[in-house]
Amino acid sequence: MPLAAQHWIAPAWGGPEQWRLVGTTVPDPGPGEITVRVRAAGMNPADRKHVAAPRPGAALPVPIGYEVSGEIVAIGPETRIGSGEARVGDEVIAFRVQGGYASALTMPAEKAFRKPAPLSHAEAANLLLAGTTAAEMLERVQAQSGDTILLHGASGAVGVMVLQLAALRGVRVIGTASEAGAERVRRFGGIPIAYGPGLLDRVRALDLPVNAALDAVGTDEAVDVSLALVDDLARIVTIAAPGRAAEHGFLSIAGSQPASAEFRDGIRGELARLADEGLLEVPLARTYPLADAVEATLFLAEQHPGGKLALLP
Ligand SMILES: NC(=O)c1ccc[n+]([C@@H]2O[C@H](COP(=O)([O-])OP(=O)(O)OC[C@H]3O[C@@H](n4cnc5c(N)ncnc54)[C@H](OP(=O)(O)O)[C@@H]3O)[C@@H](O)[C@H]2O)c1
């Protein structure tokens, strides 16, 4: 039977203040689909940025949220999920869903993977967007064992995923952060360094060869320091400064690019497995009730959340 649920929508382009929490009926799953009761919705800057202005191909109202953790409450006929067999009651994470800020939703089953046991729902709901982005950044600059990379925004959600995946590959990371974020960088194996005026000199003073630069911040400082330290433009990647990348000819990636989407979709299962084995953590800063999505979004937009945020229905 179709399920009554609540979900957040953007009824118009613009800021989160105009988002609405509305009632909806979640359809029964057809073949290749599952219905998930959401235990936690992961939050990412993209949730807000993607509805800030009209986007080609997107129609209003836009359901908000790209990733969730929860349990399967209905499963379509002859249906397997991304990680294999599944039953009603199984705990799963899912990414890239449409409308994750919800109490329940029906989705293509291939987007769902067995929930990593060591992670809480709030942590697990935040694994895949940041994790797949981080994995693609490392892949695109061909980071390999023995390399030293400079990572801008190392204490952020994507940053800590890069740190953990780099450590698994034997890649050394110099990571920029605030004073408050430095301890998080160290905990995940990076060499913390303060961002702000003098960054280039501070990196040079470490006297380490910087083979590649990964930008998860997008400031001019991050781009300028990357260009000053890394000659090979194919070993500089940004996820937040597409304009500067086009200007200088280095890499810029986004989930909306077909090649990125294909890579990221392909790596979800591997990240879920690593987390299940206890090899990937998701530092959580705060949780909020689902009804407080706007307040949580405004906090995340300040850019110093100190870890991931999750909405709990
Ligand atoms: N293109 C893509 O595919 C893609 C995918 C995911 C994310 N993104 C984008 O990447 C960015 C990071 O995402 P996230 O989820 O990691 O965000 P987040 O968790 O909010 O982290 C933001 C980080 O930026 C750091 N920061 C803030 N101001 C800074 C400055 N002036 N200089 C250097 N660092 C600064 C903060 O460090 P402190 O707290 O230590 O100050 C914080 O760790 C966002 O712009 C997001 O939209 C893009």
Q: Is the CB of 25 under 6 A from ligand 1?
A: no
For residue 150, what pLDDT is reported?
99
Residue whose CA is at the smallest distance from ligand 1 atom 37: 177
Cα 62 from Cα 201, distance rounded (Å): 45
Per-residue pLDDT tens over the stretch 39-64: 999 999 999 999 999 998 899 999 99
The CATH number of whichever domain residue 34 belongs to comes to: 3.90.180.10
If asked whether residues 69 and 13 sit together in one domain, one would say yes
Task: For residue 214, list its beta bridge partners.
Answer: 151, 237
Under the phi-then-psi rule, with left for phi > 0, alpha for psi from -120 to 50, and beta for the rest, what region is 197?
Answer: beta
For residue 210, the 8-state DSSP code is -
Q: At 119, give phi and psi (nearest 5°).
A: -95, 140
Full domain range(s) for residue 208:
133-252
Per-residue pLDDT tens over the stretch 118-147: 999 999 999 999 999 999 999 999 999 999
Per-residue pLDDT tens over the stretch 279-288: 999 999 999 9
Which atom in ligand 1 lies closest to the alpha carbon of residue 306?
39
Which of 173, 178, 193, 200 is the pocket-test mutation for ligand 1 (most atoms within 8 Å of CB)? 178
Q: Is 0.95 topped by the overall pTM? A: yes
Which atom in ligand 1 lies closest to the alpha carbon of residue 130?
6
Q: Is the CB of 282 under 6 A from ligand 1?
A: no
Determine contact, residues 26/105, Cβ cutoff 8 Å.
yes
If asked whether residues 223 and 299 sit together in one domain, one would say no
For residue 2, what pLDDT is reported?
83
Q: Residue ranges of the alpha helices (H) in 7-118?
A: 45-49
If asked whether residues 85 and 191 sit together in one domain, one would say no
Which atom in ligand 1 lies closest to the alpha carbon of residue 196?
32
Nearest to 271 by CA among 132, 164, 160: 132
The CATH number of whichever domain residue 223 belongs to comes to: 3.40.50.720
268 occurs within a structural domain: no
